Structure 1
Amino acid sequence: MERFEASALTTMLVVTDTVASRDWYVSVLDAEVTGEYGTSVVLRLLDSWLLLVEGGGPDEGKPTVHLAPPEDPDRVSAQMIFRVADCHGLYTLLRERGATFLAPPHVREGETRAFFRDPDGHLFEISELT
């Protein structure tokens, strides 16, 4: 094989309660549940896969890795960014659906942006080019 090839990319998020998180992603972000097994939930969000799993200790494939939701939501190493057509309108809709934003939309470097978190503290951004 000469180059990396794959058929899909899935983002995994570690959550404290897959049922509560599943319901939040479905009701707030219109995600579609495509499967559930054990304590895992597979969602389709836009054109991407999202896997929600509960935390746990090491196993044979990852003998030193502990899965855990964010301990401090203000210390972020990754976030998901949604490019949107109407940041203010979506901000209002998502707040009505239960999203908690860090601040109202603001303009920075040619974008109108607003940041919110899921119930476990994972960071999301809606961003509109201005």
Structure 2
Amino acid sequence: MAAFPTEGMELTRLLVVSDVARSRAWYEGVLGAEVEREYEGACVLRLLGAWLLLVTGGGPTPDKPTVVFGPPLDPDRVSAETIFRVPDCSGAYETLRARGAQFLAPPVDRGYEIRAFFRDPDGHLFEISELTG
């Protein structure tokens, strides 16, 4: 039996987007992601040593017969987010804002961490977080 996880494995985060070209530009320009490759309806990005796959929505397939992929319907109802642990939340906030990120609020000091939230063009939630305690 093969071990899991084991050396040589990598993790990819898949996000369903409404417009791959628009999202690609946002992820490159705002987050600094690098494009690895593109194919019809998808873009593979590299970000902080991890893979990010942007895809358009689609219906069930033989290997996922009841699953429909679609971008978030309501950005205020979140079941997952992506968190960036940063050494300086205020600095990251200013840099990302200058690149076009639209934050829900300025960074908030919660005593043990300073954090701020923003969304991509489809409403996927992101957080920058600085541990302080």
Structure 1 position 3, deviation (Å): 3.0
Instruction: Name the residue aligned to 2:4.
Output: 4
| Separation (CA, whole Å) in 2 of partners of 1:76 and 1:58 | 22
Determine the structure 2 residue equivalent to 1:77: 79
The alpha carbon displacement at 1:2 in A equals 5.2
Which one of 23, 26, 51 corresponds to residue 49 of structure 1?
Answer: 51
Instruction: List gaps (5 residues or longer) in structure 2.
Output: none
Q: Distance in 1 between matches of 2:48 and 2:112?
A: 24
Of 83, 108, 111, which aligns to 2:110?
Answer: 108
Name the aligned partner's letter for residue 42 of structure 2: S
- Partner of residue 21, structure 1: 23
Specify the code of the residue in structure 2 equivalent to 1:89. G
Q: 1:78 Cα shift?
A: 0.4
Deviant stretches of 4+, over 2 Å: none
Please list every run of 5 or more consecutive structure 1 residues that lacks an aligned counterpart in the other structure. Answer: none
Instruction: Tell me the TM-score normalized by structure 1.
Output: 0.96
Q: Which deviates the most, 17-26 or 106-115?
A: 106-115
1:58 corresponds in structure 2 to: 60
RMSD: 1.0
Q: For the residues of structure 2 that align with 1:128 and 1:99, how far apart are their CA atoms?
A: 18
> What letter matches 2:5 in structure 1?
E
In 2, distance between residues paired with 1:106 and 1:12? 28
TM (normalized to structure 2)?
0.94
Q: Which amino acid aligns with 1:87?
A: C
1:91-112 CA-to-partner distances (Å, cap 9, x unmatched) read 1111111101000000114100
Q: Does 1:120 align with 2:93?
A: no
Q: Report Cα offsets for 1:51-86 as digits up to 9, x if no partner.
A: 000001111111111000000011000001001011
How many residues are aligned here? 130
**Aligned-pair identity (%):** 65
3-state SS of 1:19 partner: helix
